[in-house]
Amino acid sequence: MTNATARVLAAGMACWLMAGPAAGQEAARGGLRIYVLQGEQAVNNVRTGAATAPVVEVRDANDFPLAGVEVTFRTPERGASATFEGGRHEYTNRTDAKGQVSAGRMTPTGEGVFSIQVLAKKDDRMGMAVIRQRNSRDDFSSGGAPGSQRKGFWGRNKWWLLGLMAGSGAGLGYWLATRDTTPGEAVLRPGTVVIGGPR
The residues spanned by each domain of the chain are 24-154
Sorted by sequence, the CB contacts under 8 Å of residue 195 that are 6+ apart come out as none
| Second CATH level (architecture) for the domain 24-154 | Sandwich (2.60)
Task: Compute the distance between CA of residue 143 and CA of residue 41 in angstroms, rounded to an integer.
Answer: 5
DSSP state of 65: B
- Name which residue leads in pLDDT, 40 or 29: 40
pLDDT of residue 72: 98
pTM for this structure? 0.59
CA atoms within 13 A of residue 74's CA, in its CB half-sphere: 11
Give 132-187 pLDDT, tens digit per residue. 999 999 887 766 544 444 444 555 556 666 777 777 777 777 767 776 666 656 55
| 20 pLDDT above the threshold of 50 | no
17 vs 11, 69, 160, 163, CA distance in Å? 10, 32, 8, 7
For the ranges 19-23, 171-175, 190-194, the lowest mean pLDDT is seen at 19-23
